[in-house]
Structure 1
Amino acid sequence: MNNDFVKVPEADKTLSPGKLFYNWFAANIGIMGFVYGAIIVSYRLSFWQSVTAALIGALTFAIPGWVAMIGRREGVTTFKMSRAAFGIYGNKIPNFMAWLNMVGWLAVNVITGTLLFSAMLKTIRVPQTGFTKLICLVIFAGLVILSGVFKEDILAKIQTWLSWIFGALTLVMLIMFLMNANWDEAFSMKSGSWVTDWLPAVAFVAAGSSISWSMAAADWGAYVRPDTKLSATFWNTTMGAATPLFILMAGGILLSTISPSLATASDPYQVMYNAIPSWFGFLYFLVAAGGIIPQCLVSFRSARINLATIGIEVTQKTSLIIHALIIVVISVYVLFISGNFLTNFELFLNFLGICLASWVAIFLVDNVIYRRQGYAVFLMKEDSPVRYNWPGIISWVIATVFGFLFTSNAVYRGPFAHGIFENNSSLAVFVSGIAAIVVMFVLSLFVKNDKKTGDEQHG
């Protein structure tokens, strides 16, 4: 049996643990972490409650760390392994949703980066016209799309440099915020409920960061050098992402003492800009725009991998063109035709987040119950005889429905979205994940023992 159709070739496994660390560090160095910190405070928490919520929320990157570790062990990317949990056909729906989510947020980030790039030029008195905005879009999107021609080892080197450059500049900005922070006000913030306030804050951080990044984790873990310890893959993924995110959120908690409107502002970047010296304006917007690029690189690469896993067989060049066109078309529509579209588009992507939270829970529970001895290659091949793995599919449907029952946002409110769940769609993501775990374990009691060992019999 030829494993090359499933497993990453040995010659392509070139990533060291250090490069893995910097890849995830770069992807989480963006200054939106400051906004996350301010939003944590808006849950009516004390300073120390806010800090612990930021810490626990950041450490939920252990979830993608776990996924990356499995990818390193098997040498297989994320949604190829997911075929074992859902079946070759059953996997196509969550796979498509993951692709849609990746491409969607990639377009949102390109739009945001373009606007920040345009704002950067404004600080040096470049006229703000539709033409200059178009030039900014071409440059920003062009940098992201150009990354598609590089292999994993080159991308890892780029991410390492971006980590150092934008990490250093972000640190300078963090120091400015800390120097201006009202420490007395920070320490005098009243405590909130650990259940109704602190827990939703943790859920918000996890839903907006670690859970969504789980889809891409094994896409990098599978390319780690085969002599790397599994624990090294886990810790470098987890801490590479959690470290910058926690530091930035802690800064955002203090920043909220001098810019209370940060958590609710329609343009949080402008609020932060107002909190720094005017002479730092150009570098501020450079950091803001540049910090988004590493996130785009990770999303762009995984989106193209996911499209291939769905079963759409196109050349690498064609895949690059398809994704570039989608990103540019969405960006042009939002920037030049209908800006109102962006809000509804982001809500749609948040709905997909519930579906993907239940997916990652099922993926990991399936790994614990059925794949402790490894994955059988035949389950991950496109011609696998297991077209539908019903325990995984049923668990995913039930868990996703549960998530929507508890969801509450500007356009939809589930029948159970009351009390702690009211106006808190992030907690619905947790409900979806927990429901998936429970249903998977219950269904496993009814699965015959030969089902659990079927992988080894066919491996």
Structure 2
Amino acid sequence: MDDNIIKIPESQKTLTAGKLFYNWFAANIGIMGFVFGAMIVSYHLSFFQAMIASLVGALSFVIPGWVAMIGQKEGVTTFKLSRAAYGTHGNKIPNAIAWLNMVGWLAVNVITGTLLLVSLFKVINVQKSAVTTAIALAIFGGLVVLSGLLTEATLAKIQTWLSWIFGVLTILILVLFLAKANWQAAVSLPAGSWITGVLPAVSIVAAGSGISWSMAAADWGAYVTAQTKPAATFWNTTMGGAVPLFVLMAGGVLLSTIEPTLATTGDPFGVMYAALPTWIGPIYFLVAAGGLIPQCIISFRSARINLATIGINVSQRTSLTIHGVIVLAIPIYVLFISGNFLSNFELFLNFLGICLASWVAIFLCDNVMFRSGGYAIDLLVSESSTHYNWRGIVSWVIATVTGFLFTNNAIWNGPFAHGIFRNNSLGVFVSAVIAIICMLLWKVAVPSRKVA
């Protein structure tokens, strides 16, 4: 996309609210939702508490819904809108982090899809080898890269068909899981703490769903037809992501009663496969791999948009080549050279969630507090005289650093990561809350005569 084009031309606004729904539905119908459900139970929650955590976590998609609605109103993609809150130069850091996040998770999904295809080959008696792994990578990675040649309208049609195909097959697998689930064990789960159990469970789901997807929301909302009501854009984005995620997480809660290792295993797909009848094996692996493709399509498209917004202006072919090489190079390294790279890489990407939570909180606060009359084009163009909006930049730095201070994992131990903040994703919420507080303080303490 040309960085000099700020508002999407009317001729390119071809998406309807229904197509938005299918887009986000397809991206969240993958059976990883079952793993989210099992992770929620691992916080020692009752069935009722687990359902509440699943529902609230899924409803974090109100954030992408809100961002998509702003994108439609302005006809501008996500990180071009973000220039108003941070300035054209100040915006480049969160913009670059969002690009890294998209490319990184895209590579992780390609790796996962490749491994699933290799597992599918084994089901049909084709044993794993370097050759079969290379073939699986060429198939899955090739499909993702080729999606970059398609228009928004074509991608929307593909997402619609993927929603129906993999939605129906996933529901079939869900029914089989539910038929085998130990309902008595599920409803008999003892209650856990609402503070140290439910809240961290919600934070994990929100960090991996609504917050992560918020950076791509306006990239689709900007292409919605002018005739579509903004409320329809909001609700179709929100419910398109929340509905399948909640249903699958509920299934994961029940599945954990018969496969307790689901939340902690390094091979969740293998654990779920073991819980199914043998005859559905090939369909299961096809659904597991196919469910990743819509996520990859969204990530790939937004990564290319973000690269242009940062200021790296290259042709569509060059952009496609750059991202294609990265998307294939990382899986090649992981699959053929280093077997332990993936876990550390995912930890790195989890750090980015804190940065993005504070970014989206500031973006939305800026919209509510200072953009009631809409966005001034002179703040969004790359040659804008407002290079740095210190209100957004300072708030983002303070919020992000604070989030890290309350976070710990295998390679980082924040000094305040104790008690309810230990070994969970609450640092993401801390980052967002501090960002909101900082923006409120700016609004009260430094009222500006002219909005920048």
Is this a same-fold pair by TM over 0.5?
yes
Separation of aligned partners in 2, 1:65 and 1:403: 24
Deviation at 1:449, TM superposition (A): 3.5
Separation of aligned partners in 2, 1:151 and 1:5: 17
Cα deviation digits, residues 21-63 of structure 1 (max 9, x gap): 0000000011000000000000010001101100010011000
TM-score of the pair, normalised by structure 2: 0.99
Other structure's SS at 2:445 match: coil
Question: 2:379 — aligned with what?
Answer: 379
Separation of aligned partners in 1, 2:186 and 2:255: 9
- The reply on whether 1:433 has 2:396 as its aligned counterpart is no
Question: 2:294 — aligned with what?
Answer: 294
Separation of aligned partners in 2, 1:267 and 1:4: 45
**AA matched with 1:294:** P
Separation of aligned partners in 2, 1:88 and 1:429: 25
Deviation at 1:280, TM superposition (A): 0.6
Deviates more, 1:3-12 or 1:363-372: 3-12
Question: 1:403 — aligned with what?
Answer: 403
Summarize the alignment of residues 343-354 of structure 1 with structure 2, pairs less than 5 Å apart.
Answer: 343-354=343-354
Summarize the alignment of residues 309-320 of structure 1 with structure 2, pairs less than 5 Å apart.
Answer: 309-320=309-320
Contact 2:36 2:205 in 1 (8 A): yes
Separation of aligned partners in 2, 1:327 and 1:412: 27
- The reply on whether 1:335 has 2:335 as its aligned counterpart is yes
Contact 2:4 2:381 in 1 (8 A): no
Deviation at 1:352, TM superposition (A): 1.0
Question: 2:447 — aligned with what?
Answer: 448
Cα deviation digits, residues 315-363 of structure 1 (max 9, x gap): 0000000000001110100000002111111111111111111000000
Other structure's SS at 1:225 match: coil
Deviation at 1:368, TM superposition (A): 0.5
- The reply on whether 1:152 has 2:152 as its aligned counterpart is yes
Cα deviation digits, residues 160-191 of structure 1 (max 9, x gap): 00000000000000000000000100010000
Question: 1:186 — aligned with what?
Answer: 186
Contact 1:7 1:76 in 2 (8 A): yes
Separation of aligned partners in 1, 2:73 and 2:380: 15
Contact 2:37 2:248 in 1 (8 A): yes
Other structure's SS at 2:105 match: helix
Separation of aligned partners in 2, 1:242 and 1:30: 13
* RMSD, aligned α-carbons: 0.9
Cα deviation digits, residues 276-325 of structure 1 (max 9, x gap): 00111000000000000000000000000000000001000000000000
Separation of aligned partners in 2, 1:278 and 1:361: 46
Cα deviation digits, residues 361-391 of structure 1 (max 9, x gap): 0000000100011000010000100000000
**AA matched with 2:161:** W
Separation of aligned partners in 2, 1:298 and 1:446: 39
Contact 1:362 1:436 in 2 (8 A): yes
Separation of aligned partners in 1, 2:141 and 2:204: 28
Contact 1:69 1:230 in 2 (8 A): yes
Cα deviation digits, residues 222-257 of structure 1 (max 9, x gap): 000011101000000000000000000000000000
Question: 2:12 — aligned with what?
Answer: 12
Separation of aligned partners in 1, 2:181 and 2:122: 27
TM-score of the pair, normalised by structure 1: 0.97
Question: 2:323 — aligned with what?
Answer: 323
Question: 2:118 — aligned with what?
Answer: 118
Contact 1:216 1:302 in 2 (8 A): yes
**AA matched with 2:185:** E
Other structure's SS at 2:258 match: coil
Contact 1:181 1:254 in 2 (8 A): yes
Separation of aligned partners in 2, 1:323 and 1:294: 17
Separation of aligned partners in 2, 1:170 and 1:451: 52
**AA matched with 1:188:** S
Question: 1:417 — aligned with what?
Answer: 417
Summarize the alignment of residues 259-274 of structure 1 with structure 2, pairs less than 5 Å apart.
Answer: 259-274=259-274
Separation of aligned partners in 2, 1:14 and 1:5: 17
Question: 2:108 — aligned with what?
Answer: 108
Deviation at 1:444, TM superposition (A): 1.6
- The reply on whether 1:195 has 2:175 as its aligned counterpart is no
**AA matched with 2:66:** W
Contact 1:391 1:444 in 2 (8 A): no
Cα deviation digits, residues 439-459 of structure 1 (max 9, x gap): 01101223334123x6xxxxx
Deviation at 1:4, TM superposition (A): 7.0
Separation of aligned partners in 1, 2:84 and 2:47: 44
Question: 2:304 — aligned with what?
Answer: 304
Cα deviation digits, residues 249-280 of structure 1 (max 9, x gap): 00000000000000000100000000000111
**AA matched with 1:443:** W
Aligned residues: 450
Contact 1:408 1:422 in 2 (8 A): yes
Cα deviation digits, residues 177-213 of structure 1 (max 9, x gap): 0000001000100001111111111111001111000
**Deviation beyond 6 Å, 4+ runs, structure 1:** none
Question: 2:358 — aligned with what?
Answer: 358
Separation of aligned partners in 2, 1:227 and 1:395: 36
Contact 2:120 2:285 in 1 (8 A): yes
**AA matched with 2:198:** W
Separation of aligned partners in 1, 2:209 and 2:334: 24
- The reply on whether 1:174 has 2:144 as its aligned counterpart is no
